[in-house]
Amino acid sequence: MIVTLIGYMASGKSTLGRILAKKLNYEFLDLDDYIEDKENSTIKDIFKLKGEIHFRKIETQYLSELLATKTNLVLSLGGGTPCYSNNMDVILSAPNAKSIYLKASIPTLIERLKNEKGKRPLIAHIETDELLAEFIGKHLFERSQFYSLANVTLTTDNKTEKDIIEELVLLLF
The annotation status of 18 as a binding-site residue, yes or no, is no
Whole-prediction pTM: 0.94
Establish whether 112 is an annotated binding residue: no
pLDDT of residue 116: 81
CATH number of the domain where residue 127 is located: 3.40.50.300
Say if residue 102's pLDDT is above 80.
yes
- Span 125-170, pLDDT tens digits: 888 999 999 999 999 999 999 999 999 999 999 999 999 999 999 9
Which pLDDT belongs to residue 32?
A: 94
128 annotated as ligand-binding: no
Check residue 120 and give its pLDDT: 77
27, 80, 85, 99 from 89: Cα distances, Å: 23, 14, 9, 11
Percent share of the chain, pLDDT over 90: 82
> Residue 102 in contact with residue 75, Cβ under 8 Å?
no
15 is in an annotated binding site: yes
105 is in an annotated binding site: no
Whether 85 has a binding-site annotation, put simply, is no
Summary mean pLDDT of the chain? 93
pLDDT at 173: 86
Listed residue (77, 84, 83, 29) closest to 56, CA to CA: 84
Residue 115 has pLDDT above 90, yes or no: no
Among 37-51, 65-79, 118-132, whose mean pLDDT is lowest?
118-132
Domain membership of residue 39 as a residue range: 2-172
Contact 84, 60 (CB under 8 A): yes
Cα radius of gyration (the chain): 16
Per the structure, how many domains does the chain have? 1
Alpha-carbon distance of 46 to 78, in angstroms, equals 15
pLDDT of residue 48: 85
